[in-house]
Structure formats: C-alpha cells, structure tokens
Amino acid sequence: MQKTDKQVPVTVLTGFLGAGKTTLLNRILTEQHGKKYAVIVNEFGEQGIDNDLVVDADEEVFEMNNGCICCTVRGDLIRILSGLMKRADKLDAIIVETTGLADPAPVAQTFFVDQDVADRTKLDAIVTVADAVHLSSQLTDHHEAEEQIAFADVVLLNKIDLVDENGLEVVKQRIKKINPFAKIINTTKCGVPLNEVLNLDAFSLKRVLEVEPDFLTSDHDHEHDDDVTSLSFVSDTPLDMEKFQDWFTKLLQTKGQDILRTKGILDFTGESDRYVFQGVHMLMDASPMGKWPKGKERSSRLVFIGRNLETMNLKEGFENCKSA
C-alpha cells in the first residue's frame, strides 16, 4: 500500500470493434491535458498516429506454471510495462487497449501475478466502451462481450444518440444484469471528461468499501444458460474466519474459471478490523482495512460476477461460514 505513490496507474480499455475505443484513445493522445500518457495498442499502426508514447503490442497470453489452472497473463504487457517503467520521465498513466474479442482476465491477472508489474504499476480500472446500438446483439453472439461488461469498472455507453429512450433503457438493464457495480456513463462520440475514465483507483481495496449495500441486497433473476450474472450476499452475523477461508479457497480453486470477479467486505468474529478483498478468477488481493467505523453496524457483504453461479451453492456456503 505504501508503494502507491510510485505506482503508475494503468487503465485497461476494452470494447468491441467499432464501439469507439479509437475515438477515446485519440482524445487521450491529442487533448491538451498537460499529462504524459503512454498508450499500448493493438491493430492501431494503420491509424498513423504520430506519438512517441504509442506502443504496438501483440496480445500474447501466457499460461503461468504456478499451479493455478486458469492463470493466464499477458506476456507482452509484462515486457512493455517493465520497459516503460525504466523511462527517465515519469508517466502519469498508461492505457492498454485490447482487441475487440479479447478476454480481459489475462490483462487483469498480469497485475496480480507479475511482481515487477505489481511493484511499479497498478491496475486502475477496466473501462469498457459499448455501442448502445449493437451491444445487445453482441452480448447474445459473443461471450467476450459479456466478459468485457462483467469485468468493467466503468461502461462507456457510446452512440446513445443513435437509440431511442426505450432502447437505451433496455441496454442499460442488460448491462446491470451482468454487472450491477459498473458505473455506466452515457456518451456520444466518447465525449466524457478524461478524469471519469482515468485515475479512478477502482482496483484499490479501499474502493471495495464503497460498494453500495443497497445494490447488494437486491436479488437478480438468473437465466438458465451460459449468461454472466451476479449474486450478492449480506450477513449481520459475524463470520468464522477459518470456515470462510476453507470455503472460499476451495470455491475459487474449483470454480475459479466461472467466477469472473469477486469483491467482499468481511466481519470476522473476534477481529476488530474490516477485511476487504477483491479477485479476478482464482487470484485475489486481500487485506485488513482498519477498524469498523463507529456508529455503523458491522456486516459482511460478498459479491460474485460469473457464469453458472446458481450451481455453486453460494448461499449455502456463505451461510455455513456464519459463526455459531
């Protein structure tokens, strides 16, 4: 945590081809913001953008030999980020563009797995640019589109001028069903202030504390297919740390491939600190985050975004962790 000052924030920009990623990147590169941003791009060379800080990448996904079955990382990103961190001039932020059909997980996992990357940079947020006109059909046709929404901290819902009010609402509901925790920003031509997409610190554990409790209590309808959905649980009864660790470790080990993202604030019996974690597939960042605020009730909140969540007996598992 003390390293934060030295860590350069990295924003991951996902979204289907044609959604408007390039428009946003062009703005980041050309607007007068007085900041030094490096942009790691794919399939961007033809655009002929003349900027020293545009780096071509190859989106190489590597398996790690660390016993984690779904642990893949972006090898090219490790190489490029390590290189950028050796620069004499310090960067204000780095933006990583992924191709339209990319799974965001290996990018996110890179920040958990590679020590050099974790020491010098930090995953700031995953921003997904979505086309208000085509998102619904893309979600139906491509699981990658679902994953990009599921992983998003911010969804830039672009081209809203091309849909009517009703259509817009339908798309928003669709996004919320997959990921009720992403902030949705309506835009035309990605006309959003850059400070709403960059430097959000969305992956810091502190941010997990801001997860809204009302969101979490509502139950969502589940489709009985491969759709990405979310589930959340709340408990006012303190949890047993040992039981929770047993259950949760085993859950991630066996179902980590289907669980895309997890977040939680936990109240353990006998512990005065709040425990906060967030995870991507099987990888997790967790830490005690100071005492519970005075005058606020202690409670545990747990969020899952993933596939086939209804088959994992999550509710039962969570209930069993409550202290007797």
Answer positive or negative: Cα dihedral of 315, 320, 323, 324.
positive
In the complex with another protein, the residue whose CB is nearer, 114 or 124, is 114
In the complex with another protein, the residue whose CB is nearer, 21 or 159, is 21
d(CA 77, CA 83) in angstroms, rounded, equals 10
In the complex with another protein, the residue whose CB is nearer, 29 or 234, is 29
Residue choice 71, 76, 198, 238 for contact with another protein (CB under 8 A): 76
Q: Taking Cα atoms as reference points, which of 25, 18, 14, 12 lies closest to residue 134?
A: 18
Residues in 218-277 that interact with another protein by CB under 8 A: none
Q: Is 114 in the site for another protein (CB under 8 A)?
A: yes
Q: Taking Cα atoms as reference points, which of 52, 57, 48, 69 lies closest to residue 13?
A: 57
Residues in 51-70 that interact with another protein by CB under 8 A: 52-56, 58, 60, 62-66
Q: Is 5 in the site for another protein (CB under 8 A)?
A: no
Q: Is 86 in the site for another protein (CB under 8 A)?
A: yes
Q: Is 46 in the site for another protein (CB under 8 A)?
A: no
d(CA 16, CA 148) in angstroms, rounded, equals 9
Q: Which stretch binds another protein (CB under 8 A): 79-87, 129-137, 168-176, 190-198?
A: 79-87
Beta carbon of residue 8, minimum distance to another protein (angstroms, whole number): 14
Residue choice 20, 75, 104, 180 for contact with another protein (CB under 8 A): 75
3-state secondary structure of 84: helix
Beta carbon of residue 266, minimum distance to another protein (angstroms, whole number): 29
3-state secondary structure of 213: helix
In the complex with another protein, the residue whose CB is nearer, 55 or 228, is 55
Q: Is 194 in the site for another protein (CB under 8 A)?
A: no
In the complex with another protein, the residue whose CB is nearer, 70 or 200, is 70
Q: Which amino acid is at 75?
A: G
**What b/e sequence results for 157-173 when a residue is b if at least 16 CB atoms lie within 10 Å of its CB, and e otherwise?**
bbbbeebeeeebeebbe
For residue 305, what are the contacts with CB-CB under 8 A and spacing of at least 6? 150, 178, 179, 181, 228, 229, 230, 259, 260, 261, 262
Residue 7 DSSP label: P
In the complex with another protein, the residue whose CB is nearer, 64 or 209, is 64
Contact residues toward another protein (CB under 8 A) are 45, 52-56, 58, 60, 62-66, 73, 75-76, 78-80, 83-84, 86-89, 114-116
